A and B are shown apart, each in its own frame.
Chain A
C-alpha cells in the first residue's frame, strides 16, 4: 500500500536555513495492516502524513501510495489519491462548517462527484460507524453538538469518502479516558468490518496501540528510529524513554526485573497477561527459595 524509499522532505523558507523534516525514510506498509506511528514533537510525523496524500510532495527519494508515485503525480492522479487516502487531522472538529451534520459529512463524497443516492448511503454508513445514527441527528447543526460528538461527525466526514488508507493524527487528543476508550473501540470495530482497510494511527501513548497494531514505526528528528511489531519496538524501553516517549509500563517492569535475573522469556504488553507472566515467575522464585533455604 505504501512504499517509501529514502523519502526526504525539506522545508524551505526565504531567509531561513532549510529544515529537514524527513530524512531518508525507508519503510513499507502492506494493504490491510494497522500501523502505529510514534515520535516526540518535531519528529516529522505531521510532515509524513501530509506527504502520504499529496498535500506535500517529497523533495527527495520516492513515495508510492496505492500505486501512485507522489513526487511525480499528475493533477488527475492527485484527485484519485485524495479519494483513496483519508486523513483525520488533530482536533478535526475544527473543520466543521456546514449547516447540518448531513451536509458536513456529505461534503467529502460530494466533492467526489458521486450521485446523490450514493452520497446518502455513504453518509448514513459513516454516521453509523461512529455511533451517531439516525435521521434526526443528521439534521442537527454540527456546531451545537458536544465536543465528543463534533469529533465523531468530523471523523464520519472522512469515513464517508470510503478511503482505502485511513490516517488518524493524534485522534484522542483532548478526550477524557471514557472518550478515549470509546474511540479505540470504534477503531477496532472498523478493522473488523473492513479487513482490507489500511490504518495508520499517530499517537504518543503506547498503551493506545498495544494489542491491535500489526507494526509500530518510531520517528525521531526526521529519521525512522525503529520499525517492527509492537513487541519488538515497545521492549526497547530505554531508547524510547531517551527520546521522550513513554513505553508501556509492563515493558518497563519486565526489563527492570530481567536486569535482576528474573527469567521472563516472553513478552506481554497488556496488564492482565503481563501480570500473569510476572506472577508465574514470582511464584516460581518463591518455590525455589523455599527449596534452597529449607523453610
Chain B
C-alpha cells in the first residue's frame, strides 16, 4: 500500500512527439519535455497556440504515445498497452468543446457512461452519478436532454462524468474556451473546490492568464519545450518574460503596471480589482 502511494504522481521524461501531415512532412510537436506532477497539485499549463499544450495533455492519459521518452502515471507506463485502461480510469480528461464530449442524450445517462464502461454494478453507478452531479450542482437537471443545457451546464455534466470514474488526476484542456464569463467562473470554482476539498490533482491548460493566476505552479510551453516554470507570482514579477513568451497580462495587472510606472508602489502580487482598490485607498491613509 505504501509502495503504491509513493508511486502516486505523473512523471514525464524527455518526451518527444511528432505529427505526421498528409503531405508526408513531420512536424515536431513536443521536443523533450521533463515534468513531474505531485499528488494534490494544481498546475497551470500555458503557451501560445501550437506550443504543444494539447499534445502534452493527451499524453497524460495515453491518447497519444511518446515517439521518444516516457510518461509514467502512478507507476503505469503509457507505452504499455495492457495498462492503458488503468491509466485512463485514473486520469480524467475534459476538452474544450462540451458538445463533442457528451455521448448520451440525457444528462444523468452521460454521467453514467464512464462507470458503465468499467462494468460497475448499476447500484454503484447510481451512487456515483448522484455524488458527481451533487459536486457540480447539476442534480436538478439530471433528467434533462443535454442539447437543452447551456454551454456551462454541459461542461459541468462533462466534469461530473469524469468524476464518476473516481479519478486521481483531472486534466482540463482549455475547458472554458467556449464559455461566457459567468460559466467560466462557475466551472473554475468547481475545479478549485475539487482540488482543495478532495485533493484532486488538477492540470489546467489555458491561455487566459486570469485563470492561471489561481494555480500553484505554472508551466509555460513554447514550440514544444518548457520555457518557464514557477509560481504565478514569480511570473508576474517578470513582465519581460511575459512579453517574450507572447502572453498577455490580464487587464488588472496591466493597470497595476501602469501605476507602478507612474511612481505608485503597487505590490507585485496584486491580481484582483479589490486588492488594487484596497491598496490605493490604504496607501492614501497611511500617511496619517
B281 on interface, CB distance cutoff 8 Å: yes
A41 engages B207 (CB within 8 Å): no
**14 sampled A-B residue pairs with Cβ under 8 A:** A144-B21, A146-B50, A175-B49, A177-B248, A178-B246, A178-B248, A179-B49, A249-B273, A271-B258, A274-B258, A275-B261, A278-B259, A279-B259, A285-B284
In the complex, which of the residues B21, B180, B277, B287 contacts A204, with contact meaning CB atoms closer than 8 Å?
B180
The residues of B that contact A175 with a CB separation of less than 8 Å are 49
By the criterion CB–CB under 8 Å, are B255 and A40 in contact?
Answer: no
B82 at interface, CB cutoff 8 A = no
Which 4 pairs show the lowest CB-CB distances between chains A and B?
A275-B258, A279-B262, A177-B248, A271-B254
Taking the complex as formed, is B288 at the interface, i.e. its CB lies under 8 A from any CB of chain A?
yes
Which residues of chain A have C-beta atoms less than 8 A from B276's C-beta?
A: 253
Knowing A179-B49, A244-B181, A274-B258, the reply to whether A256 touches B277 (Cβ < 8 A) is: yes
Specify which chain B residues have a CB less than 8 angstroms from the CB of A173 in the assembled complex: 178
**A interface residues, how many (CB within 8 angstroms):** 42
State whether A244 touches B180 (Cβ < 8 A). Answer: yes
**Residue pair B280, A41 in contact (C-beta under 8 Å):** no
Asked if B48 contacts A246 (CB within 8 A), the reply is no
Query: With the chains together, A260 CA to B178 CA distance in Å?
Result: 37
Is A177 a contact partner of B180 (Cβ separation < 8 A)?
Answer: no
A257 close to B287 (CB less than 8 A): no
User: Known: A148-B49, A204-B180. Is A177-B247 also a contact (CB below 8 A)?
Assistant: yes
7 more A-B residue pairs beyond the given contacts A177-B246, A274-B255, with a C-beta to C-beta distance below 8 A: A40-B182, A144-B22, A178-B48, A249-B251, A249-B273, A250-B255, A257-B277
Contacts known (A178-B48, A274-B255, A275-B258); A282 close to B284, Cβ less than 8 A:
yes
Per DSSP, chain A at the interface is: helix
Cβ of B263 < 8 Å from any Cβ of A?
yes
Min CB gap B144→A, angstroms: 16
Known: A146-B50, A253-B277, A285-B284. A271 touches B255 (CB 8 A): yes
Q: Is A276 an interface residue (CB 8 A)?
A: yes
Whether the Cβ atoms of A245 and B251 lie closer than 8 Å is no
Assess whether B264 is in contact with A181, with CB atoms less than 8 Å apart: no
Cβ contact within 8 Å between B263 and A286: no
CB-nearest residue of chain B to A143: B22
- B183 nearest in chain A by CB position: A41
Tell me whether B252 is interfacial, beta carbon within 8 Å.
Answer: yes
- Set of chain B residues within 8 Å of A285, measured between Cβ atoms: 284
Q: Is the CB of B182 within 8 A of A244?
A: yes
Within the assembled complex, what's the spacing in Å between the Cα atoms of A201 and B288?
A: 49
**B207 and A253 contact, CB distance less than 8 A:** no
